[in-house]
Structure 1
Amino acid sequence: MSGAGVPPEIESWFAGRGWRVRRHQAEMLAAADSGKHAMLVADTGAGKTLAGFLPTLADFTPSRLDGARPPEGLHTLYVSPLKALAHDVQRNLITPVEEMELGLRIETRSGDTSSDKKRRQRSKPPHVLLTTPESLSLLLSYEDSFELFKGLKRVVVDEVHAFATQKRGDLLALALTRLQAIAPDMQRAALSATVADPDAFRDWIAPDGDVDSVELVEGESGAEPEVEILLPDEERVPWGGHAATWSIAQLYQRIRDNRTTLVFTNTRFLAEYIFQHLWDANEDNLPIGIHHGSLSKEARRKVEAAMAEGKLRALVCTASLDLGVDWGDIDLVVQMGAPKGSSRLLQRIGRAGHRLDTPSRALLVPGNRFEFLEATAALEAVEEGKRDGEDFRPGGLDVLAQHVMGCACAGPFHEDALLAEVTSCLPYAQIDKPTWERVLQFVATGGYALRAYDKFKRITRDKDGVWRLTHPERAYQHRMNAGIIIDAEMLEVRFRNGRSLGRVEERFAASLRTGDTFQFAGVNVEVEQLKDMELIVRASKKSAMIPSYGGLRLPLTTHLADRVRGLLTDRAGWARFPDDVREWLEVQDWRSQLPGPDNLLVESFPHGGKHYTVYYTFTGWNANQSLGMLITSRMEALGMMPGGFVANDYSLAVWSLKPVEDPRPLLSPDILTDEFIDWVQDSHLLRRAFREVAVIGGLVERQHPGKKKSGRQVTFSTDLIYDVLRKYEPDHVLIEAAWADAREKMTDIGRLGDLLDTAAERLEFVELDRVSPLAVPVMVMIGREAVPQGGADDELLLEAETLAGAAMRVEGLPEGLGD
C-alpha cells in the first residue's frame, strides 16, 4: 500500500474540478509516505483539511491498493475543537470519496451521537471517524479500545491552535500517547492557519519529544486579504463605548452591497445587540440571522444550513464560527469592535472567499479610539503576516487524574508503564515521580483527608504494582461525567429579602470579597455573601468600589498590545490617522507623556473632588481587574482611602481621597505574594477554580443515572470538600491545580508579573492638574453599569464630551498643534 507521488485518481479528480494539487498538499502526502509525522501551517482556504486527509484517500485508491482489498477497521481519526466543524468536514469529504469511488466510510462521533450508533461504531468502526478530544478520551476508556485502535494508521488534529495550549489540548495530548502505545506506527498530523510559533506546535504533536520526526509543511501563499477600517462619516471616532452602534447605517449598506456578510462580535450580548439594531435598520427585509453558543442546537443547525444553502444575506455571530466552517459564498467579513489578536482576526477574515486565489475582504469597525488603534495594529500585523497566540504551560493535574481514571476503565495498568506514556507528551514531560504518586493516590482514595470515605475510592493497587477499578460501576460513572468543558455559570444578584436585581457572570462575582461595592442595575450595592450560586448584596451609600462589571471578554494578546504601544510612540505615523485621533495623541504628548513599548506610564490628577491615578498597562481587562483589586487593597492598608477602580484592556483608573504621590510602593513585586494570596483566598476565586478542577478530576460527579446535579448542588458539594481540604490537606493535588488555574486563567498572573517587573525598572510618573486625553476612554466608564455593553453607549458618549472638553482644552498649546 505504499507509494510515491500523488495517485492518478486524485490528480484526475482535482483536474476535473479545474484545480491542481497544491505543493503543501503533495508535501503532506510525501511526509506520510516517508513515515513522518507532519505539522501544516497554511492560510485559510488553502485546502488544509484535504491536505491532512490526502494520505488517507491515497491509501484507498486502486493504484495504491494494486488489486488488494481496501483495509478494514478504523484507519484515520480526525479531531477538531468543534462538533460543527466535524460535521462540515464530513460533508466536504464525502464528495471526493464518492466521486473517486474509494469505498471509504466516514462518520462523526460527539456528544450529539446516539448511544446505538456509538455502540455500533465500536464494534464495526468506519474507516474515518471525525470526533472531538472529549469523545476520543471516552472511546479510550472502553476495554475494547485496544482492539478498536490497534490498526489505526493516522490521526489528523485540525485547528490545533484552538486548544493545544489549553486543558482540552492536555486531554488530547494524553489521548495521543495512549493511541501511540496501542498503535506504535500511527502517524500524527496537525493543521492550522494561525500559529505564531510552528516549532512549538511541532513539539506538542511530536511523540516522546522527537521533534525531528515531525515535518513542518508551510502552505502556498494565497491572495493578500483586503482589509479596511470603517470610520464614521464625519471622521470622528468615539471616545468611549464598545458596541459601535454609530456604524449601523453604514454596515447595513455594506450588507446590501454584498452577497453574504458574516458579522463577528466578541460577546454573545453584543451579537444580540447588533443583530437587533440591524433588524431595526432592515428596511429591505433582508434575511439576516444570528449564531452563538447560547442558542439551542436546533437553532444553530438551522442557521448553519441556511448559510450553506446561500439563503442568508448576513449572519451575526461570535467565536462560535471562528473555526474552519467552509461557506465559500461569504464575500465580506465584519469585525465589530476590537479584534484582540492578529491570529483571531486572520482566522475570521479567512471565512470570506475561503479560496486561496481569492482575496478575503474584511471590515474592522472600532467602537472607540483605543479600539481604532488596536484595529490599526491588527491590520498591520495581518499585512505583515505576523501571528500571535498563547504560550504552552504545564498540563493540568485535574486533566491527568481524569486520564488515569479513563485508563483504569479500559483495563488494569502498571503505574511505571503509564507514567512513561504520560511523560512522552509535552504538557506532562516534567511530571516527577512524587507528583505522579500524588495523582494516583488522589484517584485511588480522594487524598489523605478524604480516604476514609468509600465514595472516593475508585482504583486500587495490588502487590505487583498493578492498578484496577475498585468496582465495574466506576467505569460507567466515569463515562457519564468525564469532560473538560465546564459551562460558565451566571449568578443571581439579589437582596437578602429575595428581590432579584439580575444576573452577573460568575467569574466577576468570584473576584469579589465581602464588603466590596459595585454598581448594578443603577444601584450601588455591597457584597454580603456569595452562597449557593447567588450573590447576596445590600443597598449601599458607599461609592461603588468596582463600578464596571466587565462580563466575559476575549483577552487582548500581548503581541497586539505591544503593537498598539508602538503606534502611540510612532509620531511620524500619526499622519495616517483620522484628524481627531491624531489631535488626541498630539495633545496627550504635549500635556503629559505617551506610554512606550518598554515602560509603564502612570498619571495622577484631581477630578470631581477626588484624586485619580491611571496606569497604562496594556495587559488586558483580566489582569487589570486583578491589579485594581490588589492596588486598592494595598492603598487601604496604607490609609490612602481608595474609593474604587475601573479597568479596560489598556488601562486601570483608581481614585482615592488622598493623592498617590509615588506609585512605586503600590507596584512592588511582593504584591503578588502578600496581597495576591490574601485576595484570592478571601474572594471566591479559589473556590470557583476548585469546583472546576474537582469536576474535571472526577472528585464530584455532575451526572447520575436518570439525574443531573444542578450548578447549585455541585457548588454545595465542592464547597464542603474545599473547606475540608483547606483545613486538613492544604497541599492536596486539586488545591494545587486550583491555584494554577487561579493564577493563570482567572487573574493572568504572568502578565501581572511582567508588568510589575517593568514598573520596578522603567516607571514614568506624571502629575497633572486635570484629566489627560489618554485617560478619557477609561474615565468615562466610571459609574456606568456595563452588563449590557452597548446599551450605555449614548450616555458614555455624552459624558465623554464633558471629560474630553477638559482634557483637550488648548490654552497655551503650541502653534499648529491640534490643527
Structure 2
Amino acid sequence: MGAPLSPATTWLAGRGWTPFDFQRAVWDAIAGGQSGLLHATTGAGKTYAVWLGMLDALLRAHPPGREAQPLRVVWLTPMRALASDTAKALAEPLRDLAPMWTLGLRTGDTASAERTRQDRRFPTVLVTTPESLTLMLTREKASEELATVAHVVVDEWHELIGSKRGVQVQLALARLRRLQPGLVTWGLSATLGNLEQAAQVLCGPQAGAPAALVRGRVDKTLVIDTLVPPDPGKYSWAGHLGARMQLPVVQEIEKSGTTLVFTNVRSQAEIWYQLLLQARPDWAGEVALHHGSMDKAAREWVEEGLKAGRLRAVVATSSLDLGVDFLPVERVLQIGSAKGVARMMQRAGRSGHAPGRVSRITLVPTHTLELVEAAAARRAAQEGRIESRESPRKPLDVLVQHIVTVALGGGFRDEALFEEVRTAWAFRDLTREEFDWALAFCERGGQSLNAYPDYHRIARDEAGVWRVPDRGIAKRHRLGIGTIVSDASMQVKYLSGGSIGTIEEGFIARLRKGDCFFFAGRLLEFVRVQDMAAYVKKAAGKKGTVPTWQGSKMALSTELGDAVLEMMQAAARGEFEGPELQAARPMLEMQARLSRLPTPATLLVESLRSREGQHLYVHPFAGRHVHLGLASLLAWRLARERPGTFSLSVNDYGFELVSAEPFDLEPVTSRAVFATGDLLHDVLASLNSSELAQRRFREIARIAGLVFSGYPGQPKSMKQLQASSGLFFEVFRKYDRGNLLLTQAETEVLSQELEISRLAATLERVRGRTLEFVELRHPSPMSLPLMVERFREKLTTEQLSTRLDRILRDAERAGG
C-alpha cells in the first residue's frame, strides 16, 4: 500500500481535479516549515497551492473535529474587494476539511458588530489588509493574541513590494516572527522580474534553508494583439487617435463576451464610458464604470455584475487590476499603452481567469507611436522581459509610525525593537543612530517640537518599557495608521441625499455654481460646497468637463523602452513585420526622411529653428520621469555656459528644450552636457528642489503622524493639511536641520519623482551610444508630440488645432 493521500489531495480529487506539479512543490515546502514565494500566471491556481498546503499542516497539528486555536492563519491582500473574494475561495475547502474552524474578514469595510465578535475571539483564519493588520498590532494584548499565528500569506506581493505599504508589511512580519519564531510566510505573485530578491524581502532572515522559490509553469495561452486603426497617419501626438477608436472598440465589444476596458487614469475611464454610451445608447445598464473614487456601493454593484455575467463591458482603471476572480470575462481591451510589460500581463490575466482558459488582451493605440509600443510589448512579454520592483530603503516615516504602533501594542524595549526592525529588508542597514533619532522623535518631536505635548507620543516607564501614555494620542494614531496618502478629497453628494463618491478638492475648487461635469458616468451640475462635501444635482444638458486626478502619469519602463528601440531598429533596416509596424510604416518612413530613426545603439538629437526660437529634441526613450530630470539638467548646464531661459516639454520618448535666443549646441554634440560627474549636485541645482521636497514632505508628515487628517465625519481640508505640513517643513529647516525626515523628503524626490538611479544609468547609456544629430527644417513625427505637449498648456483647443493643421501641411510638403 502507498502512503495515504493528504487531505488537500483528497479534496481536489473529490472535485475531479489533479494537482499541478508546482502545487505539490508548495505543499512539500510548507510541510517542511519553509517560507517562500510562488510565482505563477494569473488564474493558474496559486491560491489553492498555498492554502491547501497550509490546511494540511494545520490539520496535522490540530484535530479537525474541534476548534483550533484562534488566529492560526493571516491572509493579507492589498485591496478590500480582493479580501472579500479571497475569503470566499478559502471558505470552501475549510468547510469540507475542518468544519469546526472559523474564517473571518477584517478590513476597513468590516461592520463594527463583526469586529466586536472578533475582538472576543479571533477566527482560525483571518483575511485582512496591511492597514488592518497594523491596527491589530496596536491592541494592548497584541503580543498574546498574535503569538498563535503560524502562517501568513501575502497575496499580490508584486503590487506591494515597491511601495511603503510593502515596508509596512515587512515590519508587521518582523513583529510576528518575534512573537512566533517558527512563522511560515508565503507570497503570491504573477508578474515580477527579480523573483529571488522578492522572496528574500518577503521572508526575511530564514533559520536554515533559504526562502523557497516555486515557479508555477502551467500551459496557459496568452494572446496579445492590437486594434489597428484604419489610417493612423504620418504624424502622432498624445491622444490624436483616441476618440477615432470609438467605433472599432464598440465593434470589438459587440463580437466578444464580457469585456474589461482598461484605462490608465480615472479621467480617461470617465471619457471612454461616455464614448461607449454615445455610440450605443441601448447599452445603458449593460456597460458600467469602475474606479477608486466611486462610492463603495456602486463599485460592489459592478463587481457583482461582472461575476454574474450580467454586464457586457466595464470601463475600469487599476481598481480592477488585481486578482478578483471574474470568470465570465473573456476579453480585455487596454486603451493606450500599459507602459510596462508586467502591468499589461497583469491586466491580460483578468480574462480567462482559470487554468486551461485563454487570456486575451487587445491593445488600443491612442497615437501612432503606441502601435510600435504595442508590438514591442508583445515581444517583451513573449521573451519574459518583466520589470523588477525594489523595496524602498529606510523610509523613516514608516519606522516612526511603527514605533508608536508597537508602543501601543503592549510596549517595547529599545534594544529588542532595534534588532527586530533590522530583520525587515528595508531596514537591514539601519544604524543605531538613525533608530535612536526616530525613537527620540517619537518621544519629544525632535529639537523643534519639544515644547508641544501633542508630539510627546511615547514615554519609558520605570521598568524601561516604552509605551503611549496619552489616550488622545493613541486614538489619533490608530485613525492615522497606513501609508496610502492621497490628496484631500471631497464627498460628492446629491442635494436630495445619497453619496456618489469622492473627488479631489483641487478640482472642486475650480468649479463655479452651475458648472457641469461627468463623474461616475453621470452628468452633474455643481451647486455648492458645505461641510467638506460638494453638493450636486443631475444636469439636463449634454456638455460637461471631466474631473482630473493628480495621480502621476505612468512612465514607460526601461524594459519596454528598450523593446521599442529594437522595433525602431528593425524599421530602420526596412523590416516592418506584423500589423502594428505595417500600420506605423508611413510615420516611421516620414521620420526617416525628415530625420533619423532612433535605435538601441544611437541617441537621436534634433534641432529646429522657428518663430519661437531654437528647439532641441533629445530622444532617450527612458520614460517621462527620467526625461523631466534630464531636461532640467541639460537646461541648467547649457544656461551655465551662457545665461538663457528655456521652456521644457517631456513625454515617454524624449524631451524638448526651447529658447527664444540661439544657444551653443557644441556641448550637446560633444556630449559634454551628458557628463555623470557632479550629477546629484547639478540635478538639485537645476530644479526647484526645495519646492519638490516640500511637496514630498506632505506625505511623509502624514505617515509619520505629524499631521492629523481629522476624525471620522470631520476631515481637514487640503488647505489645512498643506499649511500644517508646510509649517513643519519650514520649522525643521530653520531650527532642526538634522531632522532625518527632511533628508528623507530630498531622497524621495530624487529616487521616486526623478528616478535618479535610472537617470544616471540613462546618462551612462547615452555616453555609450553614437549621437546622431539632425538639423530639422520642419518638425519630425517624433518632435511634434513634444511641441503639442507644450502648446496644450497655453493654447485653446481651437488654436491648437489651427496650429497643428499648418504644421502638418508644411511637413507633408517637405516630406514629399
1:274 aligns with 2:282: no
Q: 2:219 and 2:746 mapped to 1: Cα distance?
A: 44
Distance apart, 1:296 and its partner CA: 1.0
Match of 2:33 in 1: 35
Deviation at 1:583, TM superposition (A): 3.7
Aligned position for 1:186: 183
Per the alignment, do residues 153 and 795 of structure 1 end up closer, same or farther by CA in structure 2, a change over 3 Å counting?
farther
Query: CA 1:284 to 1:6, structure 2 compared with 1: closer, same or farther past 3 Å?
Result: farther
Q: 1:778 to 1:574 in 2, by over 3 A?
A: farther
The answer to whether the 8 Å contact 2:674/2:763 transfers is yes
**CA positional deviation for 1:201:** 0.9
Partner in structure 2 of residue 411 of structure 1: 410
- Matched to 2:786, the amino acid is V
Percent identity of equivalent pairs: 32
Q: Distance in 2 between matches of 1:100 and 1:395?
A: 43
Matched, 1:584 2:602: no
Which letter maps to 1:278?
L
Contact 2:487 2:718 in 1 (8 A): no
Whichever residue aligns with residue 264 of structure 2, its letter is N
> In structure 1, how many angstroms separate the alpha carbons of the residues matched to 2:433 and 2:566?
46
How big is the shift at 1:492?
4.2
- Which amino acid is 1:240 matched to? W
1:210 Cα deviation from its structure 2 partner: 5.9
Partner of 2:222: 225
Does residue 1:142 correspond to 2:139, yes or no?
yes
Give the superposition deviation at 1:254: 1.3
Match of 2:665, SS state, is coil
Q: Which residue of 1 aligns with 2:709?
A: 702
Q: Which amino acid aligns with 2:154?
A: V
Deviation at 1:198, TM superposition (A): 1.0
Q: Which moved more, 1:65-74 or 1:88-97?
A: 65-74
Q: Do the aligned partners of 1:642 and 1:654 also contact (CA within 8 Å) in 2?
A: no
Deviation at 1:14, TM superposition (A): 2.5
Give 1:178 shift. Answer: 0.2
Map of 1:537 onto structure 2: none
Q: Is the 8 A contact 1:584 1:774 kept in 2?
A: no
SS in 2 for 1:315: strand
Contact 1:781 1:796 in 2 (8 A): no
Alignment map for 1:417-496 (pairs within 5 Å): 417-461=416-460, 466-489=465-488, 490=504, 492=506
Deviation at 1:71, TM superposition (A): 1.6
Aligned to 1:355: 354
The 8 Å contact of residues 236 and 781 in structure 2, kept in 1 or not, is answered as no
Taking a change above 3 Å as real, the CA distance of residues 749 and 454 of structure 1, as seen in their structure-2 partners, is same
CA displacement 1:7-38 (0-9 Å, x = unmatched): 24x33442343322222222211111111112
Q: Structure 2: how far apart are the matches of 1:175 and 1:483?
A: 12
What CA distance in whole angstroms lies between the structure 2 residues aligned with 1:704 and 1:134? 17
2: CA distance, partners of 1:456 / 1:64: 46
Aligned to 2:647: 644
Corresponding residue number in structure 1 for 2:532: none
Q: TM-score, normalised by structure 1?
A: 0.86
1:774 is matched with 782
Task: Determine the C-alpha separation between the residues in 2 that align with 1:65 and 1:550.
Answer: 51
Does residue 344 (structure 1) correspond to residue 352 (structure 2)? The answer is no
Aligned to 2:684: 677
Match of 1:531 in 2: none
1:226, CA displacement in angstroms? 1.5
Shift of 1:135: 1.0
In structure 2, distance between residues paired with 1:279 and 1:652: 37
In the other structure, the counterpart of 1:723 is 730
Partner of 1:323: 322
2:333–2:363: 8 Å Cα contact kept in structure 1? yes
Deviation at 1:350, TM superposition (A): 0.5
Q: Which runs of 5+ in 1 are unaligned?
A: 504-547, 814-819
1:553 aligns with 2:553: yes
Query: Contact 1:689–1:741 (CA<8 Å) still a contact in 2?
Result: yes
Q: Secondary structure at the match of 1:332?
A: strand
Letter in 1 for 2:470: H
Aligned to 1:380: 379
Contact 1:395 1:428 in 2 (8 A): yes
User: Is 1:661 paired with 2:665?
Assistant: yes
Alignment of 1:255-334 (within 5 A): 255-285=253-283, 287-334=286-333
Give the 3 Å change call, closer, same or farther, for CA 802–755 of structure 1 in structure 2. farther
Query: What is residue 68 of structure 2 aligned with on the other side?
Result: 71
Q: CA separation of 1:551/1:154 partners in 2, compared to 1, >3 Å: closer, same or farther?
A: closer
Q: Encode CA deviations 1:383-429: one digit per residue, 9 max, x unaligned.
A: 22331132333131100111111011112311111111111121110
Alignment of 1:10-49 (within 5 A): 10-49=8-47
d(CA) in 2 for partners of 1:77 and 1:495? 42
> SS at 1:328's partner residue?
coil
Distance change (3 Å), C-alpha of 1:500 and 1:777: farther
The answer (yes or no) to whether the contact 2:232–2:584 under 8 Å persists in 1 is no
1:163 is the counterpart of 2:160: yes
Match of 1:121 in 2: 118
Q: 1:678 to 1:473 in 2, by over 3 A?
A: same
Kindly indicate whether the alpha-carbon contact (under 8 Å) linking 1:263 and 1:314 is maintained by their aligned counterparts in 2.
yes
Aligned to 2:597: 594
Secondary structure of the 1:20 match is coil
Are the structure 2 counterparts of residues 300 and 20 from structure 1 closer, same or farther at C-alpha, using a change threshold of 3 Å?
same
- Which runs of structure 2 are paired with 1:590-629 in the superposition (5 Å)? 590-629=593-632
Deviations 1:293-343 (A, max 9, x none): 111111111111111111100000000110001011111000110011111
TM-score, normalization by structure 2: 0.87
- How far residue 67 of structure 1 moved from its aligned partner, in angstroms, is 7.2
Structure 2 partner of 1:521: none
Question: What letter is aligned with 1:693?
Answer: I
Q: Using the alignment, how far apart are the partners of 1:26 and 1:342 within structure 2?
A: 29
Contact 1:159 / 1:323 at 8 angstroms: preserved in 2?
A: yes
Q: Which runs of 5+ in 2 are unaligned?
A: 489-503, 517-547
Q: What SS does the corresponding residue of 1:584 show, helix, strand or coil?
A: helix
- CA distance change for structure 1 residues 134 and 260 in 2, over 3 Å: closer, same or farther? same
Residue aligning to 1:747 = 754
In structure 2, C-alpha distance between the alignment counterparts of 1:549 and 1:361, rounded to whole Å: 29
Mapped to 2, the partners of 1:283 and 1:630 lie a distance apart of: 50
Note if 1:569 corresponds to 2:536.
no
- CA drift of 1:182 comes to 0.7
Residues in 2 aligned to 1:693 and 1:720: alpha-carbon distance in whole angstroms = 13
Matched-pair contact (CA < 8 Å) for 1:444–1:459: yes
CA 1:257 to 1:795, structure 2 compared with 1: closer, same or farther past 3 Å? Answer: farther
Superimposed CA distance per residue, residues 87-135 of structure 1 (whole angstroms, 9 cap, x where no aligned partner): 1111222233335563332211111223343233233111111111111
Compute the displacement of 1:562 (Å): 1.2
Instruction: After superposition, give the CA deviation of every residue in 1:666-691 in whole Å (9 maximum; x if it has no partner).
Output: 44446744453345556532111111
Shift of 1:74: 0.6
CA distance in 2, matches of 1:785, 1:92: 49
Q: What residue in structure 2 maps to residue 529 of structure 1?
A: none
Once structures 1 and 2 are overlaid, which stretch shifts more, 37-46 or 382-391?
Answer: 382-391
Alignment of 1:232-251 (within 5 A): 232-234=229-231, 236=233, 239-242=236-239, 244-251=242-249
Bigger CA drift: 160-169 or 729-738? 729-738
For residues 325 and 238 of structure 1, the distance between their equivalents in structure 2, rounded to whole angstroms, comes to 39
- Partner AA of 1:710 in structure 2: S
Q: In structure 2, how many angstroms separate the alpha carbons of the residues matched to 1:810 and 1:373?
A: 24
Q: Is the Cα–Cα contact under 8 Å of residues 237 and 368 in structure 1 kept in the other structure? A: no
Match among 733, 756, 768 for residue 740 of structure 2: 733
> Can you list the C-alpha shifts for 1:700-721, whole angstroms capped at 9, x where unaligned?
2223487432222121111111
SS at match of 2:648: strand
The amino acid that maps onto 1:605 is L
Contact 1:209 1:425 in 2 (8 A): no
Superposed CA deviations along residues 422-453 of structure 1, whole A, max 9, x for unmatched, are: 11121110101111111111111111122232
Range with greater deviation from structure 2 (470-479 or 702-711): 702-711
Cα distance change, pair 123–358 in 1 and its aligned pair in 2 (3 A): same
How far residue 593 of structure 1 moved from its aligned partner, in angstroms, is 3.1
**Correspondence for 2:499:** none
**2:106/2:128 contact within 8 Å kept:** yes
Distance in 2 of aligned mates of 1:89 and 1:669 = 48
CA distance 1:589–1:465, change in 2 (3 Å): farther
**CA distance in 2: counterparts of 1:681 and 1:578, whole angstroms:** 41
- Alignment deviations for residues 522-581 of structure 1 (CA, whole Å, 9 cap, x no partner): xxxxxxxxxxxxxxxxxxxxxxxxxx9996311211111111112112244434344452
| One-letter amino acid matched to 1:45 | G
CA deviation string 1:443-475 (max 9, x = no partner) = 111111222322211112357754232434432
Q: Distance in 1 between matches of 2:515 and 2:678?
A: 34
